[in-house]
Structure 1
Amino acid sequence: MSQAGLLKACTETAGRAVPEPPDGIRNEFQRDRDRIIHAKAFRRLMHKTQVFVSPDGDHFRTRLTHTLEMMQISRTIARALGLDEDLTEAISLGHDLGHTPFGHTGEEALNRKLEPYGRSFRHNEHSLRVVDVLEKEGAGLNLTREVRDGILNHRGDAHPSTWEAAIVRTADRIAYVNHDIDDAIRADIISAGRLPEAPVRVLGDHTSARIDTLVRDMISTSQRARAISLSRDVHEALVELRAWLFTNVYHNPLSREDGKAEEVVGDLFDYYLSRPTERSGDGSDPLTATVDFLAGMTDRYALSKHRRIAMEPLSRHTDDVNRGVE
């Protein structure tokens, strides 16, 4: 059953902050997609962990693989509902550009460092800052209003302005809940048999079955409701499974490697806030510039920088000895 005519696809943009002439080949949302794919922040996603710090294995998901898997789910739903796949794809590809290193743990650690300053960090807001300000040496990507809206409102209290962005908002949760469970099982943090019975009974007992149930339910429910939504039972099952995941995986000491990510993020924050000449910046206040620099780091870059600053006192002592200070 086609959804065309029930939900209106967003096929034309309301424009960009800086007007541009038509491309002649690509539509505006295709142009946004291409700009995001060629962005430095998008390439860095391949070295940002989805859940685990420095996982021992080649098959754990990164922010990049999560982004691609979520994009595939979103496009499937958009196509079935007769909505704009190009807009859906562009929002999907850009939604996590502002994520910190070390996934959820890194974001929580950065928030704790910002609390004394009356500030907070939300990766959706920082993703918008990445595309608006930080990319292209401060020029930004000049994305369409619809893609920017979808990036900003893929989480949080505000509602996105297009049906395509509403798809991405729910598809993101569908993707990370199921894929993070899959990775946690692979890492021996949990076992498949430990998953809560009620949501498993509704959604399915393995990853592909649960995703299939959620996608099909979202399509059929949205067709009936003429709004992007899940049925009540399926939505409640997803919410319960997500809550269980936070308790048993994201806040599990085994996932956090005994506070390694918190230590790295905290130490780097203090170090670069007090040493502005050692970090990049766009002329923003020192706190904002430090957050920009830290949030842009990949996991391995953050770990490398942390090892270097940990060795600094020893290096200075050695230099003093060599100069005959002692």
Structure 2
Amino acid sequence: MTVREQQQERERLTLANWATKSYASRGRQRPMEECPYRTCFQRDRDRIIHSKAFRRLSNKTQVFISPEGDHYRARLTHTLEVAQIARTVARALRLNEDLTEAIALGHDLGHTPFGHAGERALDEVCPFGFRHNEQSLRMIDRIEDLNLTWEVRDGIVCHTGGRKADTPEGRIIHFADRIAYINHDIDDAIRGGLIRAADIPRRLLDSLGDTHGRRIDTMVTAMISYGQQHREIGMDEKTHHEMLELRQFMFDYVYQGTEAQSEEQRAKNMLRSLYEYFVEHPDELPSDYFVLMTQGDPLERVVCDYIACMTDRYSISTYKKLFIPKSWNKIED
């Protein structure tokens, strides 16, 4: 037996009956010779980690646009926190950790610069609309062509929105994503002076926990208990409702109309300007993106691809190059 076959046999013997087994995968869009050492889901995880899109996450905004300080989350640190939470749940429920990790690491590959502000900007200007989960799937299918398994692709596109992932591992990511961003955004908002811990409703702190770690532990424990009882991914009604209340608190006091988003309109205007420029000057798109148009992809979609792939810094640099007179930059320097 190869190392991969030995691992597949361990999956058969140790994973729960409702877990997704790598040897039963629905496969890839194109056939690929099996790796002798890794299961298909382990291979997908590695292909994601080695992708250009994954590297760019380290320089993409999570919530706070251009934060001052080294400890605020970027899109990459968010992704790693989601993966850690998701793997803990998968391990406790004897589900497939490799599949869970691959989905977690790939779920935000299609996110724009400047977080959800950038997503809203492209959604407003692109005639086809823009959703970061759909863009993540386009990233791995069309732009980088990673040829991932059906289960990983399904989990990535279904991590948000109305459709649930087909696998329990994919459904874990929907919850793990919320657990991660609610709690780390509270942490960053307190660090940034936007809110105080005392501003959070006392009854939610008493029930969910009065520290970052305790709240995550409460929510993860709720997921594990629910899964053990129901062989499904979820939370008890009380904990789930309180988690959503905490999420709404963040929308009311942090995500909307606060100092944290004071730069949002500028970021949106900048990305709109970049979009309009490249729609009018498609010949200036990099060759990798121009090729997509020659293969039949609409210009507007390809321009969105290019902008969505930009990091915060690169989008600012491109905007300066296109719209700010060089003499002004010299004055600033």
- Calculate the TM-score normalised by the size of structure 2: 0.88
How many Å separate the matches in 1 of 2:266 and 2:211?
30
- Of 273, 276, 301, 1:288 maps to 301
User: Superposition pairs for residues 44-63 of structure 1, below 5 Å?
Assistant: 44-63=56-75
How many Å separate the matches in 1 of 2:72 and 2:122?
23
User: Superposition pairs for residues 73-222 of structure 1, below 5 Å?
Assistant: 73-114=85-126, 117=127, 119-135=128-144, 140-222=145-227
Decide whether aligned partners of structure 1 residues 288 and 314 sit closer, same or farther in structure 2, where only a CA change above 3 A counts: farther
The amino acid of 2:66's aligned partner reads S
Partners of 2:16 and 2:93 within 8 A in 1: no
Q: Deviations over 1:125-162 (max 9, x none)?
A: 00000000101xxxx01000000000010011111111
Partners of 2:22 and 2:40 within 8 A in 1: no
Decide whether aligned partners of structure 1 residues 120 and 198 sit closer, same or farther in structure 2, where only a CA change above 3 A counts: farther
Q: Which residue of 2 aligns with 1:279?
A: 285
1:11 equivalent in alignment to 2:22: yes
Kindly state the Cα deviation for residue 197 of structure 1 after the two structures are TM-superposed.
3.0
Decide whether aligned partners of structure 1 residues 313 and 57 sit closer, same or farther in structure 2, where only a CA change above 3 A counts: closer
Partner-residue secondary structure (3-state), 2:140: helix
Kindly state the Cα deviation for residue 4 of structure 1 after the two structures are TM-superposed.
5.4
Q: What is the number of equivalent residue pairs in this alignment?
A: 306
Q: Which residue of 2 aligns with 1:246?
A: 251
- Of 264, 274, 279, 2:270 maps to 264
The sequence identity of aligned pairs, in percent, is: 48
- Calculate the TM-score normalised by the size of structure 1: 0.90
How many Å separate the matches in 2 of 1:75 and 1:292?
30
How many Å separate the matches in 2 of 1:225 and 1:27?
28
Partner-residue secondary structure (3-state), 1:46: helix
How many Å separate the matches in 2 of 1:278 and 1:244?
44
Kindly state the Cα deviation for residue 234 of structure 1 after the two structures are TM-superposed.
0.5
- Structure 1 alignment gaps of length 5 or more: 316-326
- Structure 2 alignment gaps of length 5 or more: 1-13, 329-333
1:300 equivalent in alignment to 2:306: no
How many Å separate the matches in 1 of 2:326 and 2:34?
56
Decide whether aligned partners of structure 1 residues 170 and 10 sit closer, same or farther in structure 2, where only a CA change above 3 A counts: farther
Q: Which residue of 1 aligns with 2:51?
A: 39
